[in-house]
Amino acid sequence: MRILSLLLSAWWIASGAFAGAEPHTVDVAGFGARGDGVADDTTAIARALATGATVRFARLTYVVTGLTVPSNRTLIFDGTTIKLAAGSNAWVFSLNGATGVRFTGVLKIDGNKSEQTLPQGGGMILSAASSGNYFESVEVANPMNYGVAISTSHENTFDSLTVTYPGGAGIVRQYEGAYLYMGGSFDNKVYAIRGEGASGNGVHLNSSSRNQFGSLRLRSSGGKGLALVDHSEYNSFTESYLESNGDNGAFLEASSGHNRFRLIRATSNIGNGLECNSDDNSFESVVATGSVDRGSGGAGVYIGGSRNVFRSVVACANERDGVRIDSGEGNTLSLIAVNNSQRDANMSDGLRFMGGATRNVVQSIAATDMQAAKTQRYGISNSAVGTANAISMAYLERNARGPFITSGNDVVEQRSASVPVTLPQILSLAGLPAPDDCAAGCDSFLPSAPTAAEPPPAH
């Protein structure tokens, strides 16, 4: 009898049936998943998830019509591909109010966009207050709509997210077809996003606050590279590299203030490199080069909001103004370096106050080599309705139409240096070593993009 009791106890412990036992690990193959890239494995994977266990996937391709992940599940991937079946028009993964979900290992989600029939669904959606979920390394390729959508959810973490070519025929609203969409979400963390070829905006925040972003590399979006709209406030961004996007590199709507950016590098975007129409944001370093004017901007930095703080701005080789302050009030810019000699012959000033810009303060500006192909090409210019803008120190050299023009009541304490100061010397104050000019397109002195995200804190 004693032996029987010991055997039963051993079975009880081995089976994990006692309270608080860790769930066992199962492989989806044990439930009939084939992973051959052809057979529908949805039912088999759903059965594995229903066990409450840790679920393991092999380095295979599993075809599904859409999976719902319950709370407190761990999914282990090993270079696994989960592919959406033709005509499913669904999300590959849905977390609806789920908590405690963990994706570990490397996962690729194939949205199979060319085989879908409706402009809906995508890679992954977190909705209905999903929280406390963690995703280690997720790549989403060719989703019909979003790569990842976080809707009314909070405290979720992505260590690494890569999305390529989201969106397709039938996408109407501009923010659809995004790498990452956040709506009504807060306190989420994304340490690295890589995105290319969005049909709409790249990363789109709508009514989302207190989210933290590490390294963003967003290129070739059909809309804005990074967009904050409808009271998206108190978000922080460490490094944002925005290249060749279709409608501004970064855009802040008037209602979306109190955000913080450490570094923005905007290169060759249609529209403005950075357009800030909101108030009380902080920008430690902005580098805007090669902005293109196709009827919607072309400035390196456009400021339409108030009380924003810019520690340093480098604007080089843009088709329009290096920095344009339009109707903004009480903005502070510590250091501006502008050289627009590389771009086409459009009306472009180094720094322009217009549209009622008032009581803005520029502590130091270096503006050189504005071309003289049209009516204005000055280092600094001010419209008649721009008033009480203060410029403490201005180094204005080789500007074809002259160093300065104003019809407002600016205060300029010094319009030129008593000892010539070159653009590279000014840039060095911002920690940006520079060549003698911007003839090479400016990229030679810009900080290089990181090859990998900064290591996230331990979870």
Could you read off the pLDDT of 440-452 as tens digits, one per residue? 433 333 334 434 4
More confident of the two residues 349 and 164: 164
Mean pLDDT comparison of 5-19, 267-281, 312-326, 438-452, highest-scoring range:
267-281
Longest dimension (CA), the chain: 104
Note the pLDDT of residue 300: 93
Q: Which of 138, 156, 135 is nearest to 147 (CA)?
A: 138
Note the pLDDT of residue 455: 42
Q: Please write the tens of the pLDDT for every residue from 277-304.
A: 999 999 999 999 889 887 778 999 999 9
How confident is the model over 227-251, as a mean pLDDT?
97
How confident is the model over 306-331, as a mean pLDDT?
91
Ranges 62-76, 257-271, 376-390: which has the least confidence: 376-390
Q: Which of 382, 404, 392 is nearest to 335 (CA)?
A: 392
Q: Which of 43, 121, 35, 125 is nearest to 86 (CA)?
A: 121
> Judging by DSSP bridges, how do beta strands 67-68 and 36-40 pair with one another?
unpaired
CATH 2.30.30 fits 71-445, yes or no: no
pLDDT at 1 over 70: no
pLDDT at 170 over 70: no
pLDDT at 180 over 80: yes
Cβ 330 vs Cβ 339: under 8 Å: no
pLDDT at 175 over 90: no
Please give the share of the chain, as a percent, with pLDDT higher than 90.
60
- How many CB atoms within 10 Å of residue 421? 16
- What token pair was written down for 274? 């950075």
Distances (CA, A) of 116 to 11, 28, 113, 142, 169: 49, 26, 5, 11, 10
Per the document, the length of the chain is 459
pLDDT at 425 over 90: no
Helices and strands (H, E) in the chain, number of each type? 3, 37
Note the pLDDT of residue 49: 97
How confident is the model over 168-195, as a mean pLDDT?
85
Cβ 120 vs Cβ 84: under 8 Å: no
How confident is the model over 47-69, as a mean pLDDT?
96
Dihedral class, residue 262 (left if φ above 0, else alpha if ψ from -120 to 50, else beta): alpha
Cβ 248 vs Cβ 225: under 8 Å: yes
Specify the 3-state DSSP secondary structure of 10. helix
- Taking all residues of the chain, what is their mean pLDDT, rounded to a whole number? 83
Alpha carbon distance 202, 382 (integer Å) = 34
Note the pLDDT of residue 318: 86
pLDDT at 68 over 80: yes
Question: Considering just the CA atoms, what is the radius of gyration of the chain in Å?
Answer: 26
Note the pLDDT of residue 259: 98
Q: Which of 402, 342, 338, 343 is nearest to 368 (CA)?
A: 338
Cβ 207 vs Cβ 184: under 8 Å: yes
Beta bridge partners of 324: 302, 352
How confident is the model over 18-32, as a mean pLDDT?
75
How confident is the model over 216-243, as a mean pLDDT?
96
Note the pLDDT of residue 173: 56
CA 9 to chain CA centroid, Å, is 54
Please give the share of the chain, as a percent, with pLDDT higher than 70.
75
pTM of the model as a whole? 0.85
Residue 18's pLDDT band (boundaries 50, 70, 90)? very low
Q: Please write the tens of the pLDDT for every residue from 370-402.
A: 664 544 567 777 776 677 788 877 777 766 665
Distances (CA, A) of 139 to 101, 195, 213, 265: 17, 10, 17, 24
Note the pLDDT of residue 375: 47
pLDDT at 343 over 70: no
Residue 306's pLDDT band (boundaries 50, 70, 90)? very high
More confident of the two residues 44 and 11: 44
Alpha carbon distance 309, 397 (integer Å) = 26
Residue 428's pLDDT band (boundaries 50, 70, 90)? low
Quote helix, strand, coil % in the chain, to nearest 5: 10, 40, 55
Alpha carbon distance 427, 432 (integer Å) = 5
Q: What is the DSSP string of 353-420?
A: EETT-BS-EES-EEEE----SSS---SEEE-TT-BS-EES-EEEES-TT-SEEESS--EES-SS-SS-
Note the pLDDT of residue 449: 40
> What is the residue extent of each domain of the chain?
71-445
Alpha carbon distance 337, 359 (integer Å) = 20
Q: Please write the tens of the pLDDT for every residue from 346-373.
A: 667 888 888 888 888 888 887 776 664 5
Q: Which of 243, 197, 241 is nearest to 222 (CA)?
A: 197
Specify the 3-state DSSP secondary structure of 113. helix
Note the pLDDT of residue 441: 39
Note the pLDDT of residue 387: 76
